[in-house]
Amino acid sequence: MTDATSITPSHRALNASDAACTPVNGDKDRYVGMLRTMLRSRFTDERLNRLYKQGHITGGVYSSIGQEAIGAATTAAGQPQDLYAPLIRNMAVHVGRGETVLDVFRQWLGRGGSPTRGRDGNIHYGTFSHGVYAMISHLGAMLPVVVGGVMARRRLGVDAVGFAYIGDGGSSTGDFHEAINFAAVFSVPVIFIIENNKYAYSTPIAGQFRCERLIDRAPGYGLEGFSADGNDALALYRLVHPLAADIRAKPRPIMIECDTMRMRGHGEHDDFTYVPPKLLERYRARDPIAVASNHLKAEGVLTAAEIESLTQACQAEVDLAYRTAMNEPPPNPDTLLDGVYANA
Protein backbone atom coordinates (compact mmCIF):
# COMPACT_ATOMS: atom_id res chain seq x y z
CA MET A 1 0.00 0.00 0.00
CA THR A 2 2.86 2.38 -0.68
CA ASP A 3 0.96 3.38 -3.81
CA ALA A 4 -1.21 6.32 -2.95
CA THR A 5 -3.86 5.28 -5.38
CA SER A 6 -4.69 2.25 -3.32
CA ILE A 7 -5.72 4.47 -0.43
CA THR A 8 -9.42 4.81 -0.11
CA PRO A 9 -10.30 8.20 -1.42
CA SER A 10 -11.12 11.33 0.47
CA HIS A 11 -13.86 11.43 3.08
CA ARG A 12 -14.78 7.81 2.70
CA ALA A 13 -14.81 6.03 6.00
CA LEU A 14 -12.48 3.07 6.04
CA ASN A 15 -12.53 0.53 8.79
CA ALA A 16 -9.14 -0.53 9.96
CA SER A 17 -10.06 -4.14 9.29
CA ASP A 18 -10.57 -3.26 5.62
CA ALA A 19 -6.98 -2.18 5.30
CA ALA A 20 -4.55 -4.18 3.26
CA CYS A 21 -3.29 -6.88 5.54
CA THR A 22 0.43 -7.45 5.88
CA PRO A 23 1.21 -11.11 6.66
CA VAL A 24 1.29 -11.44 10.40
CA ASN A 25 4.55 -13.26 10.87
CA GLY A 26 6.62 -10.73 9.00
CA ASP A 27 5.88 -8.20 11.68
CA LYS A 28 6.11 -10.40 14.72
CA ASP A 29 8.41 -8.08 16.68
CA ARG A 30 6.17 -5.15 16.09
CA TYR A 31 3.10 -7.07 17.22
CA VAL A 32 4.75 -8.30 20.37
CA GLY A 33 6.04 -4.78 20.91
CA MET A 34 2.53 -3.40 20.74
CA LEU A 35 1.29 -5.84 23.34
CA ARG A 36 4.24 -4.94 25.53
CA THR A 37 3.51 -1.25 25.15
CA MET A 38 -0.08 -1.79 26.17
CA LEU A 39 0.84 -3.89 29.16
CA ARG A 40 3.42 -1.39 30.36
CA SER A 41 0.97 1.43 29.86
CA ARG A 42 -1.84 -0.35 31.66
CA PHE A 43 0.21 -1.47 34.64
CA THR A 44 1.71 1.98 34.97
CA ASP A 45 -1.73 3.56 35.00
CA GLU A 46 -3.00 1.05 37.52
CA ARG A 47 -0.08 1.78 39.80
CA LEU A 48 -0.55 5.53 39.40
CA ASN A 49 -4.19 5.14 40.41
CA ARG A 50 -3.13 3.36 43.56
CA LEU A 51 -0.40 5.85 44.35
CA TYR A 52 -2.94 8.64 43.97
CA LYS A 53 -5.36 6.98 46.32
CA GLN A 54 -2.54 6.46 48.79
CA GLY A 55 -1.79 10.18 48.65
CA HIS A 56 1.61 9.91 47.00
CA ILE A 57 0.65 11.85 43.89
CA THR A 58 -0.39 15.48 44.15
CA GLY A 59 -2.57 17.26 41.62
CA GLY A 60 -4.49 14.46 39.94
CA VAL A 61 -4.27 11.23 37.99
CA TYR A 62 -5.64 10.90 34.46
CA SER A 63 -5.43 7.48 32.98
CA SER A 64 -5.30 5.99 29.52
CA ILE A 65 -6.93 2.74 30.55
CA GLY A 66 -8.90 1.28 27.67
CA GLN A 67 -7.21 3.44 25.04
CA GLU A 68 -3.79 1.81 24.95
CA ALA A 69 -4.20 0.31 21.51
CA ILE A 70 -4.05 3.70 19.83
CA GLY A 71 -0.70 4.70 21.24
CA ALA A 72 0.70 1.20 20.79
CA ALA A 73 -0.31 0.97 17.13
CA THR A 74 0.65 4.50 16.13
CA THR A 75 4.07 4.34 17.73
CA ALA A 76 4.68 0.94 16.14
CA ALA A 77 3.74 2.47 12.80
CA GLY A 78 6.24 5.30 13.05
CA GLN A 79 9.96 5.67 12.63
CA PRO A 80 12.57 7.10 14.98
CA GLN A 81 12.68 10.45 13.18
CA ASP A 82 8.94 11.00 13.60
CA LEU A 83 7.36 13.50 15.97
CA TYR A 84 4.57 12.74 18.42
CA ALA A 85 2.35 15.03 20.46
CA PRO A 86 0.56 12.85 22.99
CA LEU A 87 -2.25 14.19 25.16
CA ILE A 88 -4.04 13.12 28.30
CA ARG A 89 -4.87 9.52 27.26
CA ASN A 90 -1.59 8.66 25.63
CA MET A 91 0.51 6.83 28.18
CA ALA A 92 1.00 4.24 25.46
CA VAL A 93 2.56 6.83 23.17
CA HIS A 94 5.11 7.69 25.82
CA VAL A 95 6.10 4.12 26.52
CA GLY A 96 5.69 3.14 22.88
CA ARG A 97 8.30 5.76 21.94
CA GLY A 98 10.68 4.24 24.42
CA GLU A 99 10.37 6.64 27.32
CA THR A 100 11.13 4.58 30.40
CA VAL A 101 8.45 3.67 32.87
CA LEU A 102 10.81 4.92 35.54
CA ASP A 103 10.71 8.39 34.02
CA VAL A 104 6.95 8.21 33.93
CA PHE A 105 6.79 7.58 37.66
CA ARG A 106 9.35 10.28 38.34
CA GLN A 107 7.17 12.68 36.40
CA TRP A 108 3.92 11.86 38.18
CA LEU A 109 5.65 11.89 41.54
CA GLY A 110 7.26 15.25 40.80
CA ARG A 111 10.79 13.99 41.44
CA GLY A 112 13.83 16.15 40.84
CA GLY A 113 15.07 13.69 38.24
CA SER A 114 11.81 13.65 36.30
CA PRO A 115 11.70 14.66 32.63
CA THR A 116 10.46 18.08 33.72
CA ARG A 117 12.67 18.22 36.86
CA GLY A 118 9.49 18.49 38.92
CA ARG A 119 8.49 21.71 37.24
CA ASP A 120 5.51 20.04 35.69
CA GLY A 121 3.53 16.96 36.65
CA ASN A 122 1.44 14.08 35.41
CA ILE A 123 0.74 14.08 31.66
CA HIS A 124 2.64 17.28 30.90
CA TYR A 125 5.95 15.86 29.76
CA GLY A 126 7.69 14.37 26.77
CA THR A 127 11.20 13.42 25.80
CA PHE A 128 12.52 15.44 22.91
CA SER A 129 15.23 12.93 22.09
CA HIS A 130 12.44 10.41 21.53
CA GLY A 131 10.52 12.82 19.31
CA VAL A 132 7.82 13.35 21.91
CA TYR A 133 6.52 16.86 22.62
CA ALA A 134 5.54 17.84 26.15
CA MET A 135 1.90 18.88 26.00
CA ILE A 136 0.38 21.97 27.52
CA SER A 137 -3.13 21.72 28.94
CA HIS A 138 -4.82 24.05 26.52
CA LEU A 139 -6.53 21.58 24.24
CA GLY A 140 -5.67 21.87 20.58
CA ALA A 141 -2.55 23.93 21.24
CA MET A 142 -0.14 21.10 20.49
CA LEU A 143 -1.52 20.40 17.03
CA PRO A 144 0.21 23.30 15.24
CA VAL A 145 3.37 22.55 17.19
CA VAL A 146 3.66 19.12 15.58
CA VAL A 147 2.94 20.66 12.21
CA GLY A 148 5.79 23.12 12.69
CA GLY A 149 8.10 20.43 14.02
CA VAL A 150 7.56 18.26 10.97
CA MET A 151 7.99 21.24 8.63
CA ALA A 152 11.31 22.00 10.30
CA ARG A 153 12.61 18.47 10.19
CA ARG A 154 11.70 18.16 6.55
CA ARG A 155 13.32 21.48 5.72
CA LEU A 156 16.44 20.14 7.42
CA GLY A 157 16.33 17.02 5.28
CA VAL A 158 14.74 14.54 7.69
CA ASP A 159 11.73 12.72 6.27
CA ALA A 160 9.70 12.95 9.45
CA VAL A 161 6.00 12.28 9.82
CA GLY A 162 3.95 13.73 12.68
CA PHE A 163 1.43 12.02 14.92
CA ALA A 164 -0.91 14.44 16.64
CA TYR A 165 -3.57 13.24 19.07
CA ILE A 166 -6.76 15.00 20.05
CA GLY A 167 -9.93 14.00 21.89
CA ASP A 168 -13.51 14.28 20.75
CA GLY A 169 -13.77 17.26 23.09
CA GLY A 170 -10.59 18.90 21.88
CA SER A 171 -11.93 18.77 18.34
CA SER A 172 -14.15 21.76 19.17
CA THR A 173 -11.23 24.11 19.75
CA GLY A 174 -10.17 26.73 17.27
CA ASP A 175 -6.66 25.33 17.27
CA PHE A 176 -7.91 22.02 15.87
CA HIS A 177 -9.19 23.87 12.83
CA GLU A 178 -6.27 26.23 12.37
CA ALA A 179 -3.65 23.52 12.70
CA ILE A 180 -5.25 21.06 10.33
CA ASN A 181 -5.90 23.73 7.74
CA PHE A 182 -2.32 24.94 8.06
CA ALA A 183 -0.98 21.42 7.57
CA ALA A 184 -3.23 20.98 4.55
CA VAL A 185 -2.13 24.22 2.88
CA PHE A 186 1.53 23.30 3.24
CA SER A 187 1.08 19.55 2.63
CA VAL A 188 2.70 18.65 5.92
CA PRO A 189 2.66 14.92 6.61
CA VAL A 190 0.91 14.74 9.95
CA ILE A 191 -1.60 12.12 11.00
CA PHE A 192 -4.30 13.76 13.07
CA ILE A 193 -5.60 11.04 15.33
CA ILE A 194 -8.95 11.80 16.91
CA GLU A 195 -9.60 9.58 19.89
CA ASN A 196 -13.35 9.53 20.12
CA ASN A 197 -13.77 8.13 23.62
CA LYS A 198 -17.35 9.37 23.86
CA TYR A 199 -16.81 11.92 26.61
CA ALA A 200 -15.08 15.19 27.29
CA TYR A 201 -14.96 15.17 31.07
CA SER A 202 -18.70 14.76 31.85
CA THR A 203 -19.97 15.92 28.47
CA PRO A 204 -21.00 13.22 25.99
CA ILE A 205 -20.25 13.64 22.31
CA ALA A 206 -23.84 14.66 21.63
CA GLY A 207 -23.01 17.86 23.46
CA GLN A 208 -19.78 18.38 21.54
CA PHE A 209 -20.65 18.16 17.87
CA ARG A 210 -23.40 17.34 15.43
CA CYS A 211 -21.58 15.69 12.58
CA GLU A 212 -22.00 11.96 12.31
CA ARG A 213 -18.33 11.16 12.52
CA LEU A 214 -15.52 13.53 13.27
CA ILE A 215 -13.76 12.51 10.09
CA ASP A 216 -16.63 14.16 8.27
CA ARG A 217 -14.40 17.16 8.85
CA ALA A 218 -11.60 15.78 6.69
CA PRO A 219 -12.99 16.90 3.30
CA GLY A 220 -13.35 20.42 4.65
CA TYR A 221 -9.56 20.54 4.70
CA GLY A 222 -9.09 18.53 1.55
CA LEU A 223 -7.88 15.53 3.55
CA GLU A 224 -8.52 11.85 3.44
CA GLY A 225 -10.27 10.65 6.56
CA PHE A 226 -10.34 7.16 8.02
CA SER A 227 -12.47 5.52 10.67
CA ALA A 228 -10.81 2.90 12.78
CA ASP A 229 -11.50 0.61 15.69
CA GLY A 230 -9.39 2.22 18.38
CA ASN A 231 -9.39 -0.88 20.55
CA ASP A 232 -7.81 -3.20 18.01
CA ALA A 233 -4.09 -2.45 17.97
CA LEU A 234 -3.18 -4.89 15.25
CA ALA A 235 -5.82 -3.72 12.84
CA LEU A 236 -5.01 -0.14 13.57
CA TYR A 237 -1.34 -0.78 12.97
CA ARG A 238 -2.17 -2.35 9.64
CA LEU A 239 -4.05 0.79 8.70
CA VAL A 240 -1.59 3.35 9.99
CA HIS A 241 1.70 1.75 9.03
CA PRO A 242 1.16 1.93 5.27
CA LEU A 243 -0.50 5.32 5.56
CA ALA A 244 2.50 6.70 7.40
CA ALA A 245 4.80 5.31 4.73
CA ASP A 246 2.62 6.80 2.07
CA ILE A 247 2.47 10.33 3.45
CA ARG A 248 6.17 10.16 4.22
CA ALA A 249 6.77 9.69 0.52
CA LYS A 250 3.93 11.90 -0.73
CA PRO A 251 3.62 14.52 1.98
CA ARG A 252 0.14 15.50 3.12
CA PRO A 253 -1.85 15.38 6.34
CA ILE A 254 -4.56 12.80 6.94
CA MET A 255 -7.15 12.29 9.65
CA ILE A 256 -8.03 9.11 11.50
CA GLU A 257 -10.90 8.83 13.95
CA CYS A 258 -10.53 6.03 16.47
CA ASP A 259 -13.61 4.62 18.09
CA THR A 260 -12.74 3.96 21.72
CA MET A 261 -13.98 4.57 25.24
CA ARG A 262 -12.64 6.29 28.32
CA MET A 263 -12.89 3.46 30.86
CA ARG A 264 -12.25 5.56 33.98
CA GLY A 265 -13.37 8.96 35.16
CA HIS A 266 -11.85 12.06 33.62
CA GLY A 267 -9.39 11.78 36.49
CA GLU A 268 -9.30 9.43 39.42
CA HIS A 269 -11.16 12.00 41.52
CA ASP A 270 -14.16 11.58 39.21
CA ASP A 271 -16.54 8.66 39.84
CA PHE A 272 -17.99 9.00 36.31
CA THR A 273 -21.50 8.05 37.37
CA TYR A 274 -22.65 10.07 34.37
CA VAL A 275 -21.48 7.29 32.03
CA PRO A 276 -24.16 4.66 31.34
CA PRO A 277 -22.88 1.27 32.61
CA LYS A 278 -24.00 -0.40 29.38
CA LEU A 279 -21.61 1.74 27.39
CA LEU A 280 -18.71 0.78 29.62
CA GLU A 281 -19.64 -2.88 29.42
CA ARG A 282 -19.67 -2.78 25.66
CA TYR A 283 -16.11 -1.56 25.59
CA ARG A 284 -14.98 -3.63 28.53
CA ALA A 285 -15.75 -6.60 26.35
CA ARG A 286 -13.34 -5.13 23.82
CA ASP A 287 -10.48 -4.36 26.14
CA PRO A 288 -7.53 -3.59 23.86
CA ILE A 289 -5.14 -5.89 25.69
CA ALA A 290 -7.53 -8.82 25.50
CA VAL A 291 -8.32 -8.07 21.85
CA ALA A 292 -4.64 -8.03 20.93
CA SER A 293 -3.82 -11.10 23.01
CA ASN A 294 -6.57 -13.05 21.34
CA HIS A 295 -5.44 -11.96 17.89
CA LEU A 296 -1.86 -12.91 18.62
CA LYS A 297 -2.90 -16.30 19.92
CA ALA A 298 -5.32 -16.91 17.06
CA GLU A 299 -2.75 -15.89 14.49
CA GLY A 300 -0.12 -18.06 16.12
CA VAL A 301 2.24 -15.24 16.97
CA LEU A 302 2.36 -15.89 20.68
CA THR A 303 1.19 -18.73 22.92
CA ALA A 304 -0.84 -18.16 26.06
CA ALA A 305 2.23 -19.00 28.12
CA GLU A 306 4.35 -16.49 26.25
CA ILE A 307 1.73 -13.81 26.82
CA GLU A 308 1.62 -14.72 30.50
CA SER A 309 5.35 -14.35 30.89
CA LEU A 310 5.37 -11.05 28.95
CA THR A 311 2.64 -9.84 31.27
CA GLN A 312 4.60 -10.79 34.34
CA ALA A 313 7.75 -9.17 33.02
CA CYS A 314 5.93 -5.91 32.35
CA GLN A 315 4.32 -5.97 35.77
CA ALA A 316 7.68 -6.58 37.40
CA GLU A 317 9.25 -3.77 35.42
CA VAL A 318 6.52 -1.35 36.49
CA ASP A 319 6.75 -2.45 40.12
CA LEU A 320 10.48 -1.96 40.18
CA ALA A 321 10.19 1.41 38.48
CA TYR A 322 7.63 2.88 40.83
CA ARG A 323 9.55 1.67 43.89
CA THR A 324 12.71 3.24 42.54
CA ALA A 325 10.94 6.53 41.80
CA MET A 326 9.30 6.53 45.22
CA ASN A 327 12.72 6.56 46.81
CA GLU A 328 14.06 9.41 44.76
CA PRO A 329 14.20 12.96 46.10
CA PRO A 330 12.04 15.89 45.12
CA PRO A 331 13.68 18.74 43.22
CA ASN A 332 15.93 21.13 45.06
CA PRO A 333 13.87 24.27 45.65
CA ASP A 334 16.96 26.37 45.02
CA THR A 335 16.58 25.44 41.34
CA LEU A 336 13.22 27.21 41.17
CA LEU A 337 14.37 29.94 38.83
CA ASP A 338 16.73 27.90 36.67
CA GLY A 339 15.86 27.73 33.03
CA VAL A 340 13.08 30.29 32.71
CA TYR A 341 15.16 31.46 29.76
CA ALA A 342 17.48 29.40 27.61
CA ASN A 343 21.13 30.32 27.52
CA ALA A 344 21.66 32.86 24.79
Partner 1 sequence: MPEITYIEAIRQGLFEVMRAHPDVVLYGEDVGAFGGAFKATLGLQKEFGKERVFDTPICESAMLGVAIGMATQGLRPIVELQFADFITTALHQLLNNAGTLHYRTGVPVPMVIRAPCGGGFSGGPFHSEELEAIFCHMPGIKVVYPAFPCDARNLLHTAVMDNSPVVFLENKYLYRHIKEAIPAKHDPLPFGKARICRNGRDATVITYGAMVNETLHAARDLIDDTGYDITVVDLRSLKPYDKDTIMAAVASTNRVLIVHEAWHTCGFGAEIAAHIAENAFHLLDAPVRRLTAPDCPVPFAPVLEERYRPNSAKIVSALVDLIEY
Ligand X SMILES: Cc1ncc(C[n+]2csc(CCOP(=O)(O)OP(=O)(O)O)c2C)c(N)n1
Tell which positions 152-181 bind ligand X, by CB under 6 A. Answer: 167-170, 173
How far apart are alpha carbons 164 and 22 in whole angstroms? 24
Interacting partner of 132 out of ligand X, Mg ion, a copy of itself, none (Cβ under 5 to 8 A depending on kind): none
Interacting partner of 138 out of Mg ion, ligand X, a copy of itself, none (Cβ under 5 to 8 A depending on kind): ligand X
Site for partner 1 contains 274 (CB under 8 A): yes
How far apart are alpha carbons 319 and 333 in whole angstroms? 28
How far apart are alpha carbons 80 and 272 in whole angstroms? 37
Cα separation values, 188 from 61, 128, 247, Å: 34, 20, 9
Site for ligand X contains 94 (CB under 6 A): no
Site for Mg ion contains 168 (CB under 5 A): yes
Site for partner 1 contains 209 (CB under 8 A): yes
CB 67 to a copy of itself: min, Å: 23
Site for Mg ion contains 44 (CB under 5 A): no
CB 342 to ligand X: min, Å: 26
How far apart are alpha carbons 172 and 261 in whole angstroms? 18
Cβ distance to a copy of itself smaller for residue 179 or 307 = 179
How far apart are alpha carbons 61 and 164 in whole angstroms? 22
- 220 DSSP 8-state letter: G
Q: Give the CA angle between residues 58, 124, 37 to the nearest 5°.
A: 100
Interacting partner of 88 out of ligand X, Mg ion, partner 1, none (Cβ under 5 to 8 A depending on kind): ligand X
User: 35, 161, 200, 275: which one contacts ligand X (CB under 6 A)?
Assistant: 200
User: 167, 225, 265, 288: which one contacts Mg ion (CB under 5 A)?
Assistant: 167
Closest CA to 92 of 303, 288, 291, 308: 288
Burial of 303 per CB tally in 10 Å (0-12, 13-18, 19+): exposed
Cβ distance to a copy of itself smaller for residue 216 or 328 = 216
229 phi and psi, to 5 degrees? Answer: -80, 110
Q: Report which residue's Cβ sits closest to ligand X.
A: 167
Interacting partner of 220 out of partner 1, ligand X, a copy of itself, none (Cβ under 5 to 8 A depending on kind): a copy of itself
User: 76, 102, 139, 254: which one contacts ligand X (CB under 6 A)?
Assistant: 139
Q: Which amino acid is at 78?
A: G
Q: Contact residues for ligand X (CB under 6 A)?
A: 88-89, 137-139, 167-170, 173, 197, 199-201, 262, 266
